[in-house]
Amino acid sequence: MTPVATPFFFYFLSVLTLGSAFLVITSRNAVHSALALILALLGQAGLYLMLYAPFVAGVQIILYAGGIMVLFLFVIMLVNLERSQKEEQYSRQWLAGALAATALGVLFVAVFVKGKALFPASSVPVAESSNTQQLGQLLYGPYMFAFEIASLLLLVAIIGAVVMAKKRI
Amino acid sequence: MLDALTSYLTSNTTPGQAGNVLWALIYIFIVFGGVSVAVMAMNWLERKALAHFQIRLGPMRVGPHGLLQPIADAIKLLTKEDIIPERADRLVFWIAPLIILCASFAVYVVIPFGPTHAITDLNIGILFMLGVSSLSVLGVVMAGWASNSHYPLIGSLRSSAQMISYEVAMGLAVVSAVLMTSLNRSGTGTLSMIGIVEAQQQQQIWFLFKFFPLGFIAFVIFAIAMVAETNRAPFDLPEAESELTAGFHTEYSGLRWSLFMLGEYAAMIAVSSIAVTLWLGGWLRPFPNTLTGATWDLVFSLFPGLTFLALAAVAGVGVIRMPKDPYFRVQTTGLAAFGMLLGVIGLVLFAPPVRDRIQDIFWFTAKVAFFMYMYIWYRATFPRYRFDQLMRVGWKVLLPISLGVLIGTAVVGVVI
């Protein structure tokens, strides 16, 4: 069986992700931004698939594209769009923006140049059929503590949201 | 060429796993065509059954007993004027029905109609199905917002709240079924749709009856949540006619509206297939472990043919009861021809090579058809919920119960 992860798919998904991410920040309409963001998230899911991580890709679709983005749209639709379109779209802090962009660019270039030493030359991809099982064993084995801390964090966030939403409990 | 075609038939996997592009394409065409035909049949059956529930006749004019009504409807919808409201967001308005259609058809890629009769078998099968079908809520939200009108906006807000709420209970019910797949010697479960059915075969029990009543409760929760998830009565608040005219697709007409309908019915079939796969043993025939032996195999393999012969008999009764007036001559011959066609299909299904290959598909389809009839039955029986009642049922009843079932399943599974 030949692998489907051809360079064409990589470039296609990258262009899709980057292009729609660009649209997210440039389009004036908040709903269009959200829709472009969904496309970017789906492109990312495709990239995860290419990294032989189907479970992560599935979770990306079900949580981000199907769940969180719906809530985003839900909130945006309740906002008065006509007023928000008249407001200024970008804050004019060119200096900070340029500095951050340069720093990120330098980081990318450094990784690109020195990357060979940082990463292993090649790693054996986990068989697709046991990917989910291995992920589960890692999450409930070596990374148990981090996993549980993350769930505790989410619990705190839920309680915080309830406290903020309800005046009298 | 011929060699490439026939070489797959002897292999024992799905075309997706075998990496056979040609057969994958053939399967895709068969499945999508079959689903589209099933949607048309469902459309006719729904109108007929609803009418008889309400002591009406339903469609009678187009073809004998209105059999050609779906085709007439399709032609009407295709030739209707396609209206986009002037102040609508044209791009989003245009994309929304496509998203719903793609989301509800893409899930058919992993539905197993038989041990090898699936387009492909993903390691994350059930997760893929839930994820992709959850994308259809985006289409609903976009349609409601892009119409730039009050009823669609309220309808889509209701719809997104409803679908997200019921997705939670639905997901937890699914997880409790997935947990049951891990009760084998090696202790590893599976998310693959084919693997789930095979686990039921190995454990010699449908998950519906596993750990009674835990599996049964999870199934009931899923059965309720899937009706809410597909926006069908009694949970059809997003398109409640009496308050919102037609909900999120009020402004749609013609072809675009028919895409919404196609997507809705395809999604109904898809979620029913999930229920069948997870709890009702997928393609397994009834009692595969107790009623074994060559005789029982033969008896059960006759069912597909007998079903079609029974349908042909029903058509035959219809022919006899048709009025004898010459005005009805065309309809009578049409119905007779249709009955003959069903009879011939039934006879073909008795032939041993066809019989053995069609069995899995028949049992799967029969179980799904039962669910589709239940959908119609719900719609004719239950009054619509009020929105706060709907939310209360989702969050305060279904969610705690499904959490309890999940914990219960885990505890029982570890103890046993």
**DSSP track, B111-128:** --SSSS-SS---TTHHHH
Who has greater pLDDT, B256 or A18? A18
Measured from the Cβ of residue B385, the count of other Cβ atoms closer than 10 Å reads 20
CB B263, CB B103: distance < 8 Å: yes
Q: Which of A29, A31, A62 sits opposite B131 (nearest CB)?
A: A62
The string of DSSP codes covering B182-225 is: T-SSS------HHHHHHHHHHTTS-TTTTTTTHHHHHHHHHHHH
* Per-residue pLDDT tens over the stretch A42-88: 999 988 888 878 888 888 888 888 888 888 887 887 776 666 666 66
Judge: domain A1-83, CATH 1.20.120.1200: yes
What count of CB pairs under 8 Å joins A to B? 81
**CA distances in angstroms from A2 to A5, A9, A81, B17, listed in the order given:** 9, 14, 49, 11
Inform me whether the C-beta atom of residue B134 falls under 8 Å from chain A C-beta atoms.
Answer: yes
B chain contacts of residue A59, beta-carbon cutoff 8 Å: 127, 131
For residue B153, the chain A residues in CB contact (below 8 A) are 77
Q: Are B97 and B260 in contact (CB under 8 A)?
A: yes
| Cβ of residue B399 closer than 8 Å to a chain A Cβ | no
pTM score:
0.86
How confident is the model over B102-136, as pLDDT tens digits?
888 888 888 888 887 888 888 888 888 888 888 88
Q: Is B157 close to A70, i.e. CB distance below 8 A?
A: no
Asked whether the predicted pLDDT for residue B28 surpasses 60, the reply is yes
Q: Which of B350, B367, B306 is nearest to B112 (CA)?
A: B367
Q: How far apart are CA B143 and CA B158, in angstroms?
A: 13
Q: Do A59 and B127 touch (CB under 8 A)?
A: yes
Q: What is the per-residue pLDDT for A18? A: 93
The answer to whether B160 faces chain A, any CB pair under 8 Å, is yes
Contact list in A for residue B142 (CB cut-off 8 A) is 31, 35, 73
For chain B, the average pLDDT equals 84
The per-residue pLDDT for range B276-308, each reduced to its tens digit, is: 998 888 888 887 777 777 788 888 888 888 888
Dump pLDDT digits (tens) for B189-222. Answer: 788 888 888 888 888 888 888 888 888 899 999 9
Would you state the structure tokens that stand for residue B275, as one six-digit string? 């229920």
Residue A99 confidence (pLDDT): 93
Q: Cβ of B123 and A38 within 8 Å?
A: no
- B172 CB within 8 Å of a chain A CB: no
Query: B135 touching A, CB under 8 A?
Result: yes
Q: Do B160 and A73 touch (CB under 8 A)?
A: yes
- CB contact residues (below 8 A), chain B span 350-389, against chain A: none
Rg over alpha carbons for chain B, rounded to the nearest Å, is: 23
- CA A42, CA B135: separation in Å to the nearest integer? 10
- In percent, how much of chain A has pLDDT > 90? 24
Question: Can you say whether residue A145 is alpha, beta or left, with left for phi > 0 and alpha for psi between -120 and 50 degrees?
Answer: alpha
For B192, the closest chain A residue by CA position comes to A129
Are the CB atoms for B239 and B260 separated by under 8 Å?
A: no
Q: Which residues 215-234 of B are in CB contact (within 8 Å) with A?
A: none
Residue B394 has pLDDT above 80, yes or no: yes
The verdict on a CB contact (< 8 Å) between A35 and B141 is no
The ipTM, to two decimals, is 0.78
Is B302 in a helix, a strand, or coil? coil
- Chain A residues contacting B, CB < 8 Å? 1-2, 29, 31-32, 35, 38, 54-55, 57-59, 61-62, 65-67, 69-71, 73-74, 77-78, 128-133
Q: Is the pLDDT of residue B325 over 90?
A: no
What is the C-alpha separation between B195 and B180, in angstroms, rounded?
Answer: 12
For chain A, what percentages of helix, strand and coil (3-state, to nearest 5) are there?
80, 0, 20
Q: Which chain A residues contact residue B132 at CB under 8 A?
A: 61
In 3D, which of B112, B105, B117, B99 has the Cα closest to residue B27? B117
**Tokens representing A150?**
């993350």
pLDDT at B406: 92
Q: Specify the residue for token string 């409640």.
A: B240
User: Counting Cβ atoms within 10 Å, is residue B100 exposed (0-12), middle (13-18) or buried (19+)?
Assistant: buried
CA distance B163 to B228: 7
Check whether A3 has a pLDDT greater than 60: no
What is the predicted pLDDT for the residue at A5? 60
pLDDT tens digits for A87-108? 666 777 888 889 999 999 999 8
Distance CA B160, CA B149 (A): 17
User: With bands split at pLDDT 50, 70 and 90, how would you rate the model's confidence at B240?
Assistant: low
Token readout for B222 is 């899923």
- Alpha-carbon gap: B107 to the closest alpha carbon of chain A (Å): 13
Helices (H) and strands (E) in chain A, counts: 8, 0
Q: What is the pLDDT of residue A1?
A: 42
Two structure tokens written together for A6: 């051809």
> Which residues 91-110 in chain B show a CB within 8 A of chain A?
91-92, 95
Instruction: Out of A32, A69, A132, name the one closest to residue B123 (CB).
Output: A132
- In this predicted structure, the answer to whether residue B343 has a pLDDT above a threshold of 70 is yes
B46/chain A closest Cα distance in angstroms? 30
Sorted by sequence, the CB contacts under 8 Å of residue B289 that are 6+ apart come out as B204
For tokens 């809410």, the residue is B228
| Chain A CB within 8 Å of residue B175 CB | no
Split at pLDDT 50, 70, 90, the class of B5 is low
- pLDDT above 90: percentage of residues in chain B: 9
What one-letter code names the amino acid at A166?
K
Question: What confidence score (pLDDT) does residue A124 get?
Answer: 66
In the predicted model, is pLDDT for residue B186 greater than 80?
A: no
* Residue range B55-76, pLDDT digits in tens: 998 888 887 888 888 888 888 8
Amino acid at B121: D
Is the separation of the CB atoms in B34 and B44 below 8 Å? no
What's the CA gap between B173 and A85, in Å, rounded?
43
CA distance A11 to chain B (A): 22
- As a whole number, mean pLDDT of residues A150-164 equals 91
Q: pLDDT tier at B403 (50, 70, 90 boundaries)? A: very high
> What Å distances lie between residue B138 and A68, A69, B76, CA to CA?
11, 8, 28
CB B215 within 8 A of CB B222: no
Whether B167 and chain A come into contact, CB under 8 Å, resolves to yes
Q: Which residue has the tokens 């026939």?
A: B6
Q: Is B19 left (phi over 0), alpha (psi -120 to 50) or beta?
A: left
- Please state, in angstroms and as integers, the Cα–Cα distance from residue B352 to each residue in B40, B113, B203, B238, B372, following that order: 30, 19, 29, 48, 29
Contact B131 A132 (CB under 8 A): no
Residues of A in contact with B138 (CB under 8 A): 38, 65-66, 69-70, 73
Summarised one tens digit per residue, pLDDT across range A108-131 is 898 888 877 777 666 666 666 677
Of B150 and B97, the structure prediction assigns the larger pLDDT to B97
